Structure 1
Amino acid sequence: MPFRLALCTMGIDALRSEGVEVEIRHLRAFAAVARCRSFSRAAQELLITQPALSRTIAQLEGALSVRLLERTSRRVEPTDAGAEFLQEAERAIASFDHALNTARHRASLRLGFSWLLPAPWAQRTIKSFEGATGASVTLSRTDDPLQALRQRVIDVAVVRGEMDLPQPFQTVRLCDEARFAVCARESPLAGRTHLDWGEVRHWRLIVNSVSGTTGPWSWPEDLRPKDIVETSNYDEWVETVAANRGIGIVPETARRRSPHPALRFIALVGAPPVPVRLVYPPDGPRALVRRFVDASLEAARR
């Protein structure tokens, strides 16, 4: 990012010379060398190579037409002009960083989800992301996260299930969740300890057609349940199962975090897991989304 600095004490009011425009990276490089009194230690601090650092300092001195550093075989010292420049450069760096931090603390990333974010992944990710960026995460519950992404209502979504995502959405797989069967307390299944995945087709299946993770599509055509009741959101689905209108299938998160006195959860044997993914458009707030994805993957590995 170009960054101009007026240095009236040195008689320099525009930092552009012979096609070279001074940027904040030039100031950071010079300040690091002047503080460390060493190109090698400054390069380590800045996480760049020593040749790249030397080129950056040479560009800065060339743009200013002023020698800022005296180099010997053992030590690097600022010249008188360099010492004066260092004071101005450090003030400029501090002002620049303050401006960035002020803007970042006003930034917000909108995270959409249809129901029950994975725990403790969500809490770890949000804490890490907000601590590293200064931005905040706004949580938005929506029945159709993909539609919310299309409408730019959210920036990134947590999506469960095996559906094919339309272009140009990008996706990152976070984890897999086990499936559980759910039935009413009055159901003949309520006393079972487990249910085979292949047995599900013999029962009426309650499906959340908007944000559910299991439906007829989850089985080969010849093994699909024939008796299907559709609901349009999670609350309708829960109450329909609780009313003993059929059974449902949910990820393990629901068993751990949605206790309901009228429901019983039963382990499913042989059921494929439910993939959990982050989905985001390629033209959103890229820097924030990238940092959020990095924090998400780190939290998923813990």
Structure 2
Amino acid sequence: MTVSGHAGASNIELRHLRAFAAVARHRSFTRAAEELLITQPALSRTVAQMEAGLGVRLLDRSSRGVALTDTGAEFLVHAERTLAAFDGAVAAARRESVLRLGFSWLLPDPWAQRAIAGFERATDARVELVRCDDPLDALHRQAVDISLVRGGRAVAATVRTVHLYDERRVAVHARAVAAGDGRETSRSHPAEPTADALRWQDAHEWTLVVNTVSGTTGPWCWPDGDGPRRYVETANFDEWLESVAAGRGIGIVPEVAERRIHHPALRFLPVTGAPPSPVRLAYRPDTGTGGVLLRRFLDAALDAAATCTHAGEA
């Protein structure tokens, strides 16, 4: 059976092959339509289009049912091989597909686990976690495909963001200095607050330790210079953490830090009146071939965020 010379053969698509193969397998348009989740008239038209394109009759239709012609039986062998090869190629490509998610510190839980699991189940692709001091810079350099960013700082015009949810802010500060025998001295640590909570409106009294690269709280959070009068600048999460632990000042972070940071020199306090800290995904819309995977991850990320009813769950 030679059909390559027929003018209509170039219009044959995979959907035609799948439709024909389903009818041939079930010997029924009705059952094949149910399998393919399309209507029977649509299925009949699709098979008829393929027969017209090939210029041959593949199926005998009668009141007793559907049967393959001799040409149809021969064509079915090649059609099934083509479909199997295509499906195998897609599966192999998906197994090799990787989406690189950039983050600077403490991926929020359980959002991250839910989003990654949902995406990988839906696509057979894999999420590669990339820790970087500046996730937006990594996105610009195309070292990652999408980045998780916290806080409300502006992004470049070439970057798009999707808001996931908001996190509640808490304060963290150094505990009292311990003596050599392990007992706390009577002198409080210079950076240790004396109250059981901090008030956002008292920020001018703080010395605030700021991660200038990927932190969530800094001078940009207070309009018109109403924020702290003194800042200690750091360039990454580890520097920020150890600077707070060393008593250089107070840190303000999303409450996920209280659950995830276990540092013997640190103590957490509530912050009253503080605005929430937004959690966003940032990406470049000019991602080319990675755009499909990126959109699927955004879908999974938003689905996971919807299950986190407040910041304490995410």
**TM range, normalised to the smaller chain?**
0.7 to 0.9
How many residue pairs are counted as aligned between the two chains? 292
2:299 is the alignment partner of 1:294: yes
For residue 22 of structure 1, what is the aligned residue in structure 2?
A: 12
Partners of 1:15 and 1:64 within 8 A in 2 = no
Cα distance, 1:17 vs structure 2: 2.5
The separation in 2 between residues aligned to 1:168 and 1:73, in whole angstroms, is 61
The separation in 2 between residues aligned to 1:76 and 1:102, in whole angstroms, is 35
> What residue ranges of structure 1 are gaps of 5+ in the alignment?
1-9
The separation in 1 between residues aligned to 2:142 and 2:151, in whole angstroms, is 22
Q: TM-score, normalised by structure 2?
A: 0.84
The separation in 2 between residues aligned to 1:59 and 1:129, in whole angstroms, is 36
For residue 60 of structure 1, what is the aligned residue in structure 2?
A: 50
2:200 is the alignment partner of 1:197: yes
**CA 1:51 to 1:272, structure 2 compared with 1: closer, same or farther past 3 Å?**
farther
**CA 1:50 to 1:225, structure 2 compared with 1: closer, same or farther past 3 Å?**
farther
Partners of 1:184 and 1:190 within 8 A in 2 = no
For residue 267 of structure 1, what is the aligned residue in structure 2?
A: 270
Cα distance, 1:46 vs structure 2: 2.9
Partners of 1:211 and 1:233 within 8 A in 2 = yes
Cα distance, 1:204 vs structure 2: 0.9
**CA 1:145 to 1:16, structure 2 compared with 1: closer, same or farther past 3 Å?**
farther
State the secondary structure of the residue aligned to 2:96. coil
For residue 5 of structure 1, what is the aligned residue in structure 2?
A: none
Cα distance, 1:142 vs structure 2: 0.8
Partners of 2:135 and 2:149 within 8 A in 1 = yes
For residue 276 of structure 1, what is the aligned residue in structure 2?
A: 279
Partners of 2:6 and 2:55 within 8 A in 1 = no
Aligned pairs for 1:184-223 (under 5 A) are 184-186=174-176, 187=189, 189-190=192-193, 192-223=195-226
- 2:109 equivalent among 87, 106, 119: 119
**CA 1:123 to 1:17, structure 2 compared with 1: closer, same or farther past 3 Å?**
same
- 1:148 equivalent among 138, 147, 158: 138
State the secondary structure of the residue aligned to 1:18. helix
Cα distance, 1:224 vs structure 2: 1.7
Deviations 1:173-213 (A, max 9, x none): 22211111111113464554322211222111111101001
Q: TM-score, normalised by structure 1?
A: 0.87
Deviations 1:86-145 (A, max 9, x none): 232122211111112122212211111111111122222222322332222211111111
Residue type matched to 1:294 in 2?
A: D
Of the structure 1 ranges 171-180 and 219-228, higher mean CA displacement relative to structure 2 is found in: 219-228
Partners of 1:15 and 1:22 within 8 A in 2 = no
For residue 245 of structure 2, what is the aligned residue in structure 1?
A: 242
Q: Name the structure, 1 or 2, with higher relative contact order (CA <8 Å, separation 6+).
A: 2
For residue 7 of structure 1, what is the aligned residue in structure 2?
A: none
Of the structure 1 ranges 103-112 and 30-39, higher mean CA displacement relative to structure 2 is found in: 30-39
For residue 11 of structure 1, what is the aligned residue in structure 2?
A: 2
Of the structure 1 ranges 290-299 and 234-243, higher mean CA displacement relative to structure 2 is found in: 290-299
Cα distance, 1:273 vs structure 2: 1.2
Aligned pairs for 1:25-174 (under 5 A) are 25-72=15-62, 75-174=65-164
Of the structure 1 ranges 110-119 and 191-200, higher mean CA displacement relative to structure 2 is found in: 191-200
Partners of 2:169 and 2:276 within 8 A in 1 = yes
The separation in 1 between residues aligned to 2:145 and 2:170, in whole angstroms, is 30
The separation in 2 between residues aligned to 1:73 and 1:199, in whole angstroms, is 85
- 1:226 equivalent among 208, 229, 237: 229
> What residue ranges of structure 2 are gaps of 5+ in the alignment?
177-188, 308-314
Residue type matched to 1:107 in 2?
A: S
Identity of aligned residues (%): 58
For residue 257 of structure 2, what is the aligned residue in structure 1?
A: 254
Note the aligned Cα RMSD (angstroms): 2.3
